[in-house]
């Protein structure tokens, strides 16, 4: 469980996160909202790239914001980025291995853990191929493999399906759905593809202008009139 | 650097379906190993056999500078950091080796190691404040540091057996030369000694890029955010890369101090750091052998131009054109481009020959 309390972030005159209070109970949690709602900024706060002025983030009883940025990965915080970040100069196996060896994975199980993570996303046949030679869908899967290797506790996926064709999005969705039951990690999924969110997420939180406007079971949240208004605008505007 | 990253050898992953016992390594890998072996044997045996003493001295300096270009190549190609103080660190390595030699007579291999380690510490000292910066700013700071150290070295001069901390006596002449190891007193033997030390440095670099440190560097090169969110201690690994490149410059400095003619303080102008960067970019930074090509450009080309009676001023223009060429058409450097172009040429020649054979066939 992650408890976010009164989180406040300001960049000069812009307030991307405005006293956000939300709880991610577990399983796969969706985080949606229009562009500029503060979703990526929230991930960056959790990663340690952005320092909030106020507020706290307690994950499984630990104060996440008190940890040095690179140590959070060792604690079990993993993420993917909007712009894909699988390391192009390394092979798929080396990509996954890199995360394992820098996040405190035990050496005895290293080979097996890396193999398992690659099998988890179904890239066994590409294990020794350089990431630079793979297509977009597979490169996304490499990032997911990097995020689940070892002992992840929180996996943040930032628009993992952006730009992917439907078939590859479905494949990705089936991988995402298996993360909580098979690794025990809590997944926070940010995406604009509502079918992906409703297909993967048990609960969903909605941000608008840096504030939480709704949260709860995904189906209920997506029917909420505030949410529909935030996404589609009010009738007068249309 | 007691928190040095623990690097476990032999962790290269070969995860794809465990190769059956009878499977042979791929052709490319075999070719590469053969090529490396041929180059090494040729450098060790062939070059001393065919070259006279003047050209052997040139090749000796090529080998020594290849260690410097190797360090800088790793820094630029693997980590994405540009340092312009490697040339001065080379001078520091020479200075440290000479200073220690006149203080206590130390066996040469230990002297190499000490010169490398002390230079590495000084390199890290320069790198520490500079690492908060990146790209152009890091390059600029290292260039400034190089300038400052050059001024200090000009005042101190190289130790030549004089008294005091600086160990320099004005009566001792402008050049200082380190005494060579007893097993390699003659030029040919010392040249081979340098080739072996250089080969060890290449192995050291290879070991780094193939293991934990290399993968951390690859993550850093991709982006800082990727590295941090994958648990990489970015500052530590950047410093480690800086320490490694400085270590190599220091080792090269020690070897240079014992080369024919020794070292002279006027040999290390700051602008050479820029030429060094140019040749490293031209040689190619991602393939370790780019360092050899870079060193050939840096040391052999000027000697050849001189031999042909061409003004050495032309070198700057050649390097400028060369860097432009590489940046525009071959990001992997010449080490990557030339084999590709040769293969392309081979296909073209083969393509040009086959239709002719077909044309002649019906007339028979």
Question: pLDDT truncated to tens, each residue of chain B (364 aa)?
Answer: 334 444 443 444 444 434 443 445 577 778 888 888 888 888 888 788 788 888 888 888 999 999 999 999 998 888 888 888 888 999 999 888 888 887 787 888 889 999 999 999 999 988 887 677 777 888 888 888 888 888 888 877 777 766 666 666 666 666 777 778 878 778 888 898 999 999 999 999 989 988 899 999 999 988 888 899 998 998 899 999 999 999 999 999 999 988 877 787 778 888 888 888 888 888 777 777 888 888 888 888 888 888 888 887 788 888 888 888 887 877 777 777 777 777 777 788 777 776 655 444 444 3
Per-residue pLDDT reduced to its tens digit, A94-107: 999 999 998 887 88
Nearest-CB residue to B230 (from A48, A49, A102): A102
In this prediction the ipTM stands at 0.86
Nearest to A224 by CA among A194, A183, A185, A188: A194
Q: Tell me which chain B residue has its CA closest to the CA of residue A45.
A: B229
C-alpha span between B169 and B156 (Å, rounded): 10
How high is the pLDDT of residue B70?
92
Per-residue pLDDT reduced to its tens digit, B216-266: 999 998 888 889 999 899 889 999 999 999 999 999 999 998 887 778 777
How high is the pLDDT of residue A220?
84
How high is the pLDDT of residue B118?
94
Cβ-based contacts of B232 with chain A (< 8 Å): 70, 98, 102
User: Which residue shows structure tokens 């150290």?
Assistant: B149
- Tell me the nearest-neighbour CA distance from B336 into chain A, angstroms: 15
Q: Tell me which chain B residue has its CA closest to the CA of residue A81.
A: B226
How high is the pLDDT of residue B22?
43
C-alpha span between A85 and B81 (Å, rounded): 19
Nearest-CB residue to A70 (from B16, B222, B232): B232
A11 contact B CB<8A: no
How high is the pLDDT of residue B20?
40
Mean pLDDT across chain A: 87
CB pairs under 8 A between A and B: 90
Q: Tell me which chain A residue has its CA closest to the CA of residue B210.
A: A94
Per-residue pLDDT reduced to its tens digit, A39-62: 889 899 999 899 899 888 998 889
Residue B279 CA, chain-centre distance (Å), reads 10
C-alpha span between A45 and A56 (Å, rounded): 10
Nearest to B67 by CA among B193, B247, B192, B211: B247
Q: Tell me whether residues B16 and A128 touch, CB distance under 8 A.
A: yes
Per-residue pLDDT reduced to its tens digit, B102-146: 778 788 888 999 999 999 999 998 888 767 777 788 888 888 888
Determine the residue among B15, B23, B79, B286 to mutate to test chain A binding: the one whose Cβ has the most chain A Cβ atoms within 10 Å. B15
Cβ-based contacts of B216 with chain A (< 8 Å): 98, 102
Residue ranges in chain A assigned as alpha helix (H):
39-47, 69-75, 92-102, 110-121, 136-148, 166-183, 194-200, 218-223, 225-232
Strands across the sheet with A54-59, in order? Answer: A14-24, A2-11, A54-59, A62-63
A49 contact B CB<8A: yes
* Out of A63-77, A129-143, A214-228, least confident range: A214-228
The B-side interface with A (CB below 8 A) comprises: 8, 11, 13-16, 212, 215-216, 218-219, 221-223, 225-234, 286
A84 contact B CB<8A: no
pTM above 0.90, yes or no: no
Nearest-CB residue to A90 (from B218, B231, B233): B218
How high is the pLDDT of residue B173?
65
How high is the pLDDT of residue B25?
59
Cβ-based contacts of A127 with chain B (< 8 Å): 13, 15-16
Cβ-based contacts of B223 with chain A (< 8 Å): 85
Using an 8 Å Cβ cutoff, are B284 and B336 in contact? yes
Nearest-CB residue to B225 (from A81, A93, A118): A81
**Angle between helical axes of B314-329 and B272-283 (0-180°, round to 10):** 40
User: Which residue shows structure tokens 């409703």?
Assistant: A198
How high is the pLDDT of residue A155?
93
Per-residue pLDDT reduced to its tens digit, A186-199: 999 998 888 888 88
Q: Tell me whether residues B228 and A88 touch, CB distance under 8 A.
A: no
How high is the pLDDT of residue B355?
60
How high is the pLDDT of residue B19?
40
Cβ-based contacts of B26 with chain A (< 8 Å): none
- Tell me the nearest-neighbour CA distance from A154 into chain B, angstroms: 12
Nearest to A42 by CA among A206, A184, A196, A177: A206
Q: Which residues pair with A7 in a beta bridge?
A: A20
CB neighbour burial string for B76-91, b if at least 16 within 10 angstroms, e if fewer: bbbbbbbbbbbbbbbb
Is the model's pLDDT at A238 over the cut of 50?
Answer: no
Q: Tell me whether residues B231 and A102 touch, CB distance under 8 A.
A: yes
Residue ranges in chain B assigned as alpha helix (H):
27-41, 47-50, 53-73, 86-103, 108-130, 135-156, 187-210, 212-222, 224-229, 234-257, 272-283, 290-295, 301-307, 314-329, 334-363
């Amino acid at each position: 469980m992650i408890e976010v309390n009164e989180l406040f972030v300001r960049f000069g005159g812009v307030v991307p996160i405005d006293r956000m209070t939300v709880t991610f109970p577990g399983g796969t949690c969706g985080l949606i909202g229009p562009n500029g709602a503060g979703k990526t900024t929230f991930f960056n706060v959790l990663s340690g790239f952005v320092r909030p002025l106020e507020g706290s983030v307690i994950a499984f009883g630990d104060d996440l914001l008190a940890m040095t940025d690179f140590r959070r990965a060792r604690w079990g915080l993993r993420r993917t980025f909007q712009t894909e970040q699988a390391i192009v100069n390394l092979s798929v196996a080396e990509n996954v291995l890199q995360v394992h060896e820098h996040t405190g994975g035990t050496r005895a199980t290293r080979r097996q853990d890396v193999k398992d993570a690659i099998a988890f996303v179904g890239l066994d046949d590409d294990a020794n191929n350089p990431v630079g030679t793979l297509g977009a869908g597979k490169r996304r899967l490499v990032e997911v493999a990097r995020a689940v290797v070892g002992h992840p506790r929180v996996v943040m996926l930032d628009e993992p399906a952006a730009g992917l064709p439907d078939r590859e999005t479905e494949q990705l969705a089936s991988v995402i759905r298996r993360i909580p039951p098979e690794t025990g990690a809590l997944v926070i999924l940010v995406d604009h593809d509502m079918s992906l969110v409703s297909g993967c997420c048990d609960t969903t939180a909605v941000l608008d202008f840096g504030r939480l406007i709704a949260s709860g079971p995904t189906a209920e949240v997506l029917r909420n009139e505030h949410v529909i208004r935030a996404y589609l605008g009010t009738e007068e505007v249309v | 650097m007691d928190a040095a990253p623990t690097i476990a050898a032999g962790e290269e992953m070969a995860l794809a379906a465990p190769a059956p016992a009878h499977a042979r390594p791929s052709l490319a890998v075999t070719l590469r190993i053969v090529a490396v072996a041929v180059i090494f044997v040729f450098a060790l045996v062939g070059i001393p056999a065919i070259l006279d003493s003047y050209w052997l001295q040139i090749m000796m300096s090529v080998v020594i500078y290849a260690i410097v270009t190797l360090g800088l190549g790793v820094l630029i190609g693997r980590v994405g950091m540009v340092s312009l103080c490697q040339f001065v660190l080379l001078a520091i390595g020479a200075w440290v080796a000479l200073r220690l030699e006149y203080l206590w007579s130390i066996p040469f291999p230990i002297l190499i190691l000490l010169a490398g380690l002390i230079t590495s510490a000084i390199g890290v000292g320069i790198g520490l404040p500079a690492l908060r910066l990146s790209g152009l700013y890091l390059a600029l700071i290292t260039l400034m540091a190089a300038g400052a150290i050059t001024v200090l070295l000009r005042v101190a001069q190289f130790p030549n057996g004089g008294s005091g901390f600086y160990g320099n006596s004005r009566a001792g002449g402008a050049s200082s030369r380190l005494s060579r190891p007893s097993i390699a007193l003659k030029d040919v033997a010392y040249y081979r000694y340098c080739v072996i030390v250089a080969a060890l440095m290449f192995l050291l670099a290879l070991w780094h890029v193939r293991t934990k440190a290399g993968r951390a560097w690859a993550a850093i090169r991709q982006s800082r955010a990727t590295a941090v969110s994958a648990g990489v201690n970015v500052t530590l690994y950047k410093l480690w890369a800086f320490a490694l490149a400085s270590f190599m410059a220091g080792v090269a400095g020690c070897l240079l101090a014992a080369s024919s003619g020794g070292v002279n303080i006027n040999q290390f102008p700051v602008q050479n750091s820029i030429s060094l960067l140019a040749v490293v970019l031209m040689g190619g930074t991602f393939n370790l052998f780019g360092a050899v090509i870079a060193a050939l450009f840096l040391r052999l080309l000027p000697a050849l131009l001189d031999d042909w009676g061409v003004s050495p001023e032309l070198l700057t223009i050649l390097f400028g054109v060369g860097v432009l060429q590489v940046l525009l058409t071959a990001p992997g450097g010449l080490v990557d481009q030339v084999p590709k172009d040769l293969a392309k040429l081979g296909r073209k020649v083969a393509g040009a020959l086959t239709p002719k054979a077909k044309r002649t066939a019906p007339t028979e």
